[in-house]
Amino acid sequence: MKYFSTNRKSPEVNFKDATLSGQAPDKGLYFPITIPVLPASFLDKLAHLSNEEIAFKVIQPYVGDCIPDKDLMNIVNKTIAFDFPLKQINENIFALELFHGPTLAFKDVGAGFMSCCLGHFAKTIEKEITVLVATSGDTGGAVAAGFAGIEGVRVIILYPSGKVSNVQELQLTTWGGNIQAYEVDGNFDDCQSMVKQAFADYELQNKMFLTSANSINVARWLPQQFYYFFAWKQWADKNRPPIISVPSGNFGNICSGLLAMKSGLPFKHFIAACNTNKVIPEFMQTGNYQPQKAKATLSNAMDVGDPSNFVRILEIFDQQFKGIQKAMSSYSISDDETIHTIKKVKNDYAYLLDPHGAVGYAALEKYLSAHSQEKGIFLETAHPVKFDNTMEKILGYPLPLPAHVKSLYQKVKGSIRIDADYHALKNELNK
């Protein structure tokens, strides 16, 4: 498999080079030249295959011969060594729980897969690999957990000061060793901009082997397709494909779902469920993409005003707005609606949503109110305890913390505070 840059000014590369580069030299994102179409026979027998067999079959065409099949299967086994249950909430709505991994968030799959791939590739590289990543909450902890202790790789995490939860901050700042966190006086878009500037800085690139662990990296983005195949495996009524609602911030997750649908997965329609950062809901109405300054919300991991991966959605649909409109709808859900949804679902169905899952649920409910004959799945992307302070304010009582989350509070935060300025980051990297 070869990958081209969405800016179309860089040479085509294979999976290894796309992973190691992170971002193309022309600042575009890498995208596969062809989207593999999976045979109907594979989809027909999906329910009888193991998750490992499914994931290997999905990802192997994208990796090609860059990783031997035996090693790739081992990577897949490590990546998805936990459950992805589909749970029914009411007659028409189901939750795909993606928070059963080590950091209680869906990012564990992409971060785990990428860390194993980079660990495999690092054996052939003389320089230390520096992984530079911006996080709006969950990515940082998942990347830290995935890369901690991997020889030949150091990780630099940028996160917005005061805009991640206590648990999220502890998950990304308490590792030490090869993991270093920088607390940025700004928002997520500032952090993401600084990362992009680093990749465009040829002086810095000549000094260190730099790559990204954000979903701009194909090794982080592509394995997120697994969720959708696992959902279809568990979906009982194969003659009535579901609507899929995805809490969306930087749009890597829903983009991977749309890619899976293009590969043959028979979902009927996707919903990009956004908070009050509504660049994409407005785009879906007007056809004009207008980046905005990110606003802080209860669903902080989705506080993105210029989602990087939307350019890949444009590629999936050949830049055709009508094609996107047919495949995807988008809704903006306010904090008040998020709070109302959490309380209502808890009271009515004894199911506790986190703020991001609540956005996904509320958007799906809006769609189904106008399409009453349909049923749908929303992605519950993080465990509610990751947002313990927010959840306590909403519910009026503290959530019981799992033992491994309690242990985080015994650790000491270790981060370096810097201005939202690329030169401040560069100075730190050059130390």
What DSSP element (H or E) covers 243?
A: strand 243-247
Instruction: Quickly count: other Cβ atoms within 10 Å of residue 136's Cβ.
Output: 25
Taking a C-beta distance cutoff of 8 angstroms, is the pair 289, 283 a contact? yes
Alpha-carbon span 404 to 98, nearest angstrom = 18
The pLDDT, as a whole number, for residue 276 is 97
Tokens of 161: 């000061």
Q: Which domains does the chain have, with CATH numbers?
A: 83-106+221-395 (3.40.50.1100)
Q: Compute φ and ψ for 372, nearest 5 degrees.
A: -65, -15
What is the Cα gyration radius of the chain? 20
pLDDT at 234: 97
Cα–Cα–Cα angle for 97, 103, 233, rounded to 5 degrees: 30
Low-confidence ranges of the chain (pLDDT < 70): none
Number of H helices, E strands in the chain: 20, 14
Query: Nearest-CA neighbor of 392 among 352, 361, 419?
Result: 352
Residue type, 43: L
At 403 the pLDDT is 84
pLDDT in tens, 30-58: 999 999 999 999 999 999 999 999 999 99
CA distance 332 to 422: 31
295 is catalytic: no
pLDDT for the residue numbered 215: 86
Residue 212 confidence (pLDDT): 84
* pLDDT for 162: 92
Length of the chain: 431
Cα distance between residue 270 and residue 274, in whole Å: 13
Q: Which residues contact 259 (CB under 8 A, 6 or more apart)?
A: 35, 222, 225, 312, 316
pLDDT at 396: 95
Which of 70-87 are b and which e, b meaning 16 or more Cβ less than 10 Å from the residue's Cβ? eebbebbeebbeeebebe
The 3-state DSSP class for residue 157 equals strand
pLDDT of residue 182: 96
**Strands 129-134 vs 415-419: parallel, antiparallel or unpaired:** unpaired
The single residue of 107, 163, 278, 375 carrying the catalytic annotation is 107
pLDDT for 213: 84
CB-neighbour burial class of residue 149 (10 A; exposed 0-12, middle 13-18, buried 19+): exposed
Decide if 167 contacts 388 (C-beta within 8 A). yes
Answer whether 380's CB lies under 8 Å from 95's CB. Answer: yes
